[in-house]
Amino acid sequence: MKSITPNSKKSQNKSKENRKMTKTQAFIEGFIAKPIKNKPKN
């Protein structure tokens, strides 16, 4: 039971980092997806 507390703290930090990553990834993917969508028109 004692080992659960440090693990939950670690997972909380991980989820925070993951949220930051997904935000950056979504931004980058959206930035990349726009030119790719426009390419077939050319």
**How far is the CA of 4 from the CAs of 10, 20, 41, in angstroms?**
10, 24, 54
pLDDT tens, position by position, 1-42: 555 566 667 777 777 877 787 888 888 888 777 766 666 654
- pLDDT value of residue 36: 62
- pLDDT value of residue 5: 60
Q: How far is CA 16 from the centre of its chain?
A: 10
- pLDDT value of residue 30: 80
Distance CA 6, CA 33 (A): 39
Distance CA 10, CA 3 (A): 11
- pLDDT value of residue 7: 62
Distance CA 26, CA 24 (A): 5
